[in-house]
Amino acid sequence: MHVFQIKRKEYINKTFRLPAELVERLERIAQNNGISLNNLVVQCCEYALNDMSVPDEYTEQKVSDPV
């Protein structure tokens, strides 16, 4: 029998400058899918990093799937 465990991700606040057009697109996508803009940006970054075509020695580890 498995024991229920609460998992919590650690988040760090950072400031990034993004082109206005990109932010507008991301906001529309997030709103249309009922998720936060932050959640969408995290998923986009994880997808991009996990699917980069660079040698393994340039990446520390794969980012875990969002929970």
Q: Is position 28 within any domain? A: yes
User: Where in the sequence is the domain holding 31, given as residue range(s)?
Assistant: 20-57
Q: Is position 7 within any domain? A: no
Q: State the total domains in the chain.
A: 1
Q: Is position 15 within any domain? A: no
* Gap between the Cα atoms of 43 and 38, Å rounded: 9
pTM score of the predicted model: 0.69
Q: Is position 53 within any domain? A: yes
Q: CA angle, corner 67, sides to 10 and 17, nearest 5?
A: 55
Read off the tokens for 42: 């995290």
* Gap between the Cα atoms of 30 and 37, Å rounded: 5
Q: What is the pLDDT of residue 52?
A: 85
User: Which H, E and C letters describe 25-52, residue by residue?
Assistant: HHHHHHHHCCCCHHHHHHHHHHHHHHCC
What would the pLDDT profile of 8-42 be if each residue is shown by its tens digit? 889 999 999 999 999 999 999 999 999 999 999 99
